[in-house]
Amino acid sequence: MDAQLEILLQIQDLKGQRRGLEEGRSERQVEEEAFNLRVDEALTGLDEKIDQVMEELDPGVRRRYDRLAGGIDRAVVPVINGVCYGCFVSVATSVASDPAERAKLRNCDHCGRFLYFLD
């Protein structure tokens, strides 16, 4: 797998953890101060980690990612059975069936999300 893609997946995973924490918090009572503090700490830690990992992205990839991540919750999606799981439009067969093409960092022609190939 492309190294940049691995970083993108890591970022997405970290953001997912962050979202999970925030959702967990909104389900609890606000007066649970000790709990809130722990969540704040964890969120700060995650934000720092996300920033750190973002630094490892090539500038061009990062720009593309920032543009995408602003509007949607998942900027990196799998291709399963030749279909992009961001927009559910088929990826060109010439790409989906070629191992060399599959290994490259690419974006969906339709929705622009970063793609990774699963079988």
| Site of interaction with Zn ion (CB under 5 A) | 84, 86-87, 108, 110-111
Burial class (CB in 10 A: 0-12, 13-18, 19+), 88: exposed
- Min dist. Cβ of residue 28 to Zn ion (A): 36
Q: At what angle do helices 3-27 and 59-71 cross, to 10 degrees?
A: 30
Q: Which is nearer to Zn ion, 50 or 113 (CB)?
A: 113
Q: Which is nearer to Zn ion, 7 or 76 (CB)?
A: 76
CA 20 to chain centre: 14
Q: Which is nearer to Zn ion, 49 or 74 (CB)?
A: 74
- Min dist. Cβ of residue 29 to Zn ion (A): 40
- Min dist. Cβ of residue 103 to Zn ion (A): 19
Q: Which is nearer to Zn ion, 10 or 107 (CB)?
A: 107
- Min dist. Cβ of residue 69 to Zn ion (A): 15
